[in-house]
Structure 1
Amino acid sequence: MNRARSSHRIAVAMAAVGVLGLGLLSPVAADALRSGADPEPAAHPSSLVVRTDAGKVRGDSRTGYDEWLGIPYAADPSGPDRWKSPQPVPTWSGVRDATAFGSRCAQNSGWDPGYEKAVTSEDCLALNVYVPDGAKAGAPVVVWIHGGGNTGGAGQDTDPRRFVQQTGAIVVTINYRLGALGFLNLSELRTESGNGPGNYGLLDQQAALRWVHGNIARFGGDPRNVTIAGQSAGAGAVCDELASPTAKGLFAHAVIVSGSCNLQTAASGQAQSTAFVRAVGCDTASDVLACLRATPAADLLAAQKKAGVSPSVGGTAFPVNPGTAVQTGNFHRVPVMLGQTDSERGLFTFQNYDYLGTPMTAAVYEQQVRSTYGANADEVLAEYPLSAYDTPGEAWTAVQNGSTSFTRQQLFTALSKWVPTYAYEFAESDTPHFASIDLLQQTSETARDYPFGGAVHVDDLGYLWNYLGQTLPYDDDQLELSQQMIGYWGSFAADGDPNGPRTPAWPTYDPRTGDLMSLKACDTAPSGNRAPAACSKVTDGFAAEHNLDFWAGLTA
């Protein structure tokens, strides 16, 4: 997390969790990037063999849907093409098998199931297409951008079979370059290309969207009705694409799940990248790029552990912080749905302290508050005293949940000034936690007993689709909530409005009331006469629940 240091450092601290930036975006016309007229949408493909721009692909038939996996949307970005904009896919003859996922993009190991070992593959720019049986011609399309801190994850983490069957929408999941391979920002790279140095992973996402624009009609989808959606780092990418001039015309709606609208400055990205080059050992080479491109991916991943690299402002594709764009209205004005879980930061307190066997102490709590909130630290410590919590970790989670929620409220407000904005909080606090935590809880007493404080970061994804290949032990009320949430998301993908039949009315966000949709399950007695149900409702309690008046006062 970034650390705040000025007398009004709360604003800087907020940037670490998505605070809105300042500045001006100069819109750039990008219609020339769209080649020709939109293809006419067709019905569900009559065959598992579909022709794409690069050649034919053969998918697989599943119960209730068909899938085409591992379709390349850009060329292999390894070797001389490392740190270059995505290149066109070489065409192929015959029929390419599309029944297995492509390689994940290079990344270090992590705690998620399936990621126990590092991945060193770079030929990874592929996507997956899921089409429900009986899809109508011109079905809405959802392109999902996975999370993972811009350093991990893959499109295959998301299994959307329930979503496509219930909504009739087509879902596309994508891979994109990660870590230093995706976001290195060096002067040498800026000399090579001005199209977004430091943001090759984000340019990959645009290449995938252009593939969708040119090919999805052959799978039954409508290229004029594409929703981009993502969670965490993927949600941040959605906001980046909202502000990117070169993404114009590639989507009609946007969904931001537990994410921010913030890119670090070009100078910060360049400083990170310079440190990374030193960690690799290429800083003294006569040709830095040649040295980096000759270094094995495994060595780059090892260096990344010492010196990480994140996306940054730069180039024609990402000329300004997206927070600037949403403040000034200079972004692609499409309907937006966005929200968070009710204990976003509970996951990170556990991950950074208790999971590592070093629970936060009182001294560390004070140190973290002071380093994060600077001149406002005394006020924060007084508002969140250790005496009010069972552990320092719970106090830190409460502080971070408050500041993060204030940032979200700022984003709700900024977007609602320009576009229809549907805000929510996933408030099903009794939910089984997402796959990685759920698996840990089966073997670890620490994980079982940890007070997460409610629904944490990622907990909501299992209600939309099977995440990380796991089916979680939801009760019947939670399954009803899942069905309701899929209905909301499906309606939004269809026409930019989540409202539909048999669901509570969801108003657009109005900062004067602060009303948003609280998504939660009922607590129906198993032996009672009432059927299981969702208990979602519009509430004005978000500000009080997260103590937002206090956080607003710090920035006054």
Structure 2
Amino acid sequence: MKPLHLAAATLIGLGCSALSMSAAADEYCVPFENGGSICGVTSEKDSYSLFKGIEYATQKRWDPSTIVSNYDPKTPASEFGKSCIQMGYDSSKDPDQSEDCLFLNIWTPKTENVSKQGLPVMVFIHGGAFIAGKSNDMYPPEKNEFLLYDGATFAAEQDVILVTFNYRLGALGFMQLSFSDQGEVPVGGNYGLQDQMTALQWVQDNIKKFGGDPDKVTLFGESAGAMSAGLHLWGTSKTQDLFNAVIMESNPIGYRYRNNEDGAKQAKMFLGCLAAIKKKIKINMDCNLIWAEQSADLSDYTLDDISKAQTLYAKYNFSHLDLSGIVGLPGALPFTPIIDGKFLTQQPADQLRTGSTKPLIFGFNQNEGIYFAQKAEPLTKIIFYQNLVKNLFNCASVKDKDCTETILGTAEYSPKTVFTQEQRRGLANDKVTALSNLINDFAFSCANMDVKPKSDQTNIWAYFFNQPDQVQILPGSGSNACGPQNQWDNSCHAAELPFVFNSLPPATSDANQKLAMTMNTAWATFAKNFDTTGPGQDWKKWQAPSASSQELPLLNILNDNDSPLSENIFETRNCKNWLGQWRPRTLDYNAAMQVFRENIK
């Protein structure tokens, strides 16, 4: 997802495959109440135990999930559970996906008859734009050779328990289809987020049985997982007692979520899509509201119907634009949590400037925008980039009143700029380069640096990851701009993940292995010492830069050769403006969606 490496990093770590469960692993059963037990496997050789596919909750469609408390004797936990329904699901091609998908996995230091007790616990939320991803994601794409979120090093080397889990996605996870009384709906369409709460509650109830300390839980996530962690931190009081510290990797932290009114409008559009699919109406990317039946029996739809309606709904909003090409822009995500006033009550973008109530690490990668812009590149000829920016942001044109500096008048974001090959960094043309710069600076760099600690806060740290991509994590998009060891030294979205989990391939270089162990140790050290030294004595604590400050922002730099920060990112990425006059023009989610429909055709 460096100055600030750790002395503990002298432990040169092994790659994930070197810590994989050996063939000589033994079954180990953790006792539960009423004679039940959960049976994973313990590797004598690799010094950790692994419990896969534990069902932590059950759910009915478009209802809150219910925690699972009891288990049968010797309940097997040796295989990952099925993943939740992803965008593009097809029952004939995706047997590993299911509505019954609420499973979690636990890595612990080697479990013995007398288990270690009081261990720190790290709970990870996967990313995927709220439409994709699972707790057992593999890489590289298509080949699926290595487990990305591998907890082996956390458990075997760091004495930390790692928990990963699935949560509902897309329309099944984030669409409110109860219209009778919006205010009485207990989670307001936030079924996927409520699943996350249920997983955290399961950890509170049960992690002691695995040797963990329920009072020392660090919640962390990447991309949409980081957005989720931010919502639990700043958006709701429902989960505050379920975790103690937070790490957010590559969170487009300024994103504004739908409210109840927005959610109701979007749900009616989705019902129109469902009806069109059910009635086999031949339409061209249109979910006409006249087809929406609010009294329809939603249990009558198959998962294939829902999947097709999801795709139709996304196309209606974005006219075939690849969704991941505009992540971070206002209104860009079709399925997100809802600020419903019940479960979620606050926009994180409004709260982050008041500091954090819990110890926090946040950070971002050097070239976050490249992957998203690259995904959009095949469609750039039909994107009215200039109009899009004008309609989404204040100060996008010299005609805007009182804006002495404008977005489109700034070379980095202007489609008229002729960028050099070096400035393009592998992107196909100038317009895509401008879009990449805009997403990188507005959504990731500057939005994160808007976190402002209170005067008495000393428990916030920030990092900047600028190690070039070493492996292919996300699906490719034409060029190798975000590929392994790309010639432009880009550090794209998700590039930090195999370093955080020390899950790089075993053949990776010694320098990369060392960096992976440095980062894995930093994350684990934070989980142990979040209320004191945090990720390490040599980590500088975060202080929000001011518009007049000439000092480098206090980012802890992570790369394999300890290269210091060579630029004042706050200044070179125009953060004074992005956090000032250049804020989004509209705070209404559906108004932003309408801008996309009008300017991307």
Call closer, same or farther: CA 1:273–1:359 in 2, change over 3 Å.
Answer: closer
User: 1:178, 1:234 → 2: CA distance?
Assistant: 12
- Is 1:366 aligned with 2:386? yes
- Is 1:280 aligned with 2:316? no
Cα deviation for residue 278 of structure 1 reads 0.8
Cα deviation for residue 432 of structure 1 reads 1.7
- Is 1:462 aligned with 2:498? yes
State the match for 2:407 in structure 1. Answer: 380
User: 2:567, 2:72 → 1: CA distance?
Assistant: 58
2:242 to 246, 250, 255: 250
RMSD: 3.4
State the match for 1:223 in structure 2. Answer: 214
Matches within 5 A, 1:398-409: 398-409=437-448
1:291 to 297, 306, 327: 297
Checking the alignment, whether the CA contact within 8 Å between 2:88 and 2:311 is kept in structure 1 is no
State the match for 1:478 in structure 2. Answer: 512
What SS does the corresponding residue of 2:297 show, helix, strand or coil? helix
Amino acid across the alignment from 2:227: G
Checking the alignment, whether the CA contact within 8 Å between 1:65 and 1:165 is kept in structure 2 is yes
Residues 43-84 of structure 1, C-alpha deviation per residue, up to 9 Å, x if partnerless? xxx981112458311001232311111111111x2xxx2111
- Is 1:85 aligned with 2:29? no
Checking the alignment, whether the CA contact within 8 Å between 1:67 and 1:131 is kept in structure 2 is yes
Residues 525-551 of structure 1, C-alpha deviation per residue, up to 9 Å, x if partnerless? xxxxxxxxxx16578732134232443
1:432 to 456, 463, 470: 470
Checking the alignment, whether the CA contact within 8 Å between 2:229 and 2:246 is kept in structure 1 is yes
What SS does the corresponding residue of 2:86 show, helix, strand or coil? coil
* TM-score normalised per structure 1: 0.77
User: 2:299, 2:121 → 1: CA distance?
Assistant: 36
Cα deviation for residue 252 of structure 1 reads 0.7
State the match for 1:488 in structure 2. Answer: 522
User: 2:161, 2:68 → 1: CA distance?
Assistant: 23
Cα deviation for residue 511 of structure 1 reads 3.2
- Is 1:271 aligned with 2:271? no
Call closer, same or farther: CA 1:290–1:395 in 2, change over 3 Å.
Answer: closer
Checking the alignment, whether the CA contact within 8 Å between 1:341 and 1:460 is kept in structure 2 is yes
- Is 1:306 aligned with 2:316? no
- Is 1:334 aligned with 2:365? no
Checking the alignment, whether the CA contact within 8 Å between 2:459 and 2:534 is kept in structure 1 is no
- Is 1:324 aligned with 2:353? no
- Is 1:507 aligned with 2:501? no
User: 1:131, 1:448 → 2: CA distance?
Assistant: 32
State the match for 2:328 in structure 1. Answer: none
User: 2:104, 2:295 → 1: CA distance?
Assistant: 28
Amino acid across the alignment from 1:104: S
Residues 192-216 of structure 1, C-alpha deviation per residue, up to 9 Å, x if partnerless? 9532111011111111111000100
Between the two proteins, what is the percent identity of the paired residues?
26
User: 1:195, 1:270 → 2: CA distance?
Assistant: 15
Deviates more, 1:493-502 or 1:177-186: 493-502
Amino acid across the alignment from 1:257: E
The structure that is helix-richer by fraction is 1
User: 1:205, 1:498 → 2: CA distance?
Assistant: 27
Checking the alignment, whether the CA contact within 8 Å between 1:462 and 1:472 is kept in structure 2 is no
* TM-score normalised per structure 2: 0.72
Call closer, same or farther: CA 1:189–1:149 in 2, change over 3 Å.
Answer: farther
User: 1:446, 1:286 → 2: CA distance?
Assistant: 43
Call closer, same or farther: CA 1:451–1:120 in 2, change over 3 Å.
Answer: same
Aligned residues: 479
Amino acid across the alignment from 2:240: K
- Name stretches of at least 5 consecutive residues in structure 2 with no aligned partner: 1-25, 138-148, 279-288, 314-333, 399-405, 422-428, 584-601
Amino acid across the alignment from 1:381: L
Amino acid across the alignment from 2:473: A
State the match for 2:568 in structure 1. Answer: 541
Residues 413-458 of structure 1, C-alpha deviation per residue, up to 9 Å, x if partnerless? 2678756211111111x33244235xx49x9778769887721111
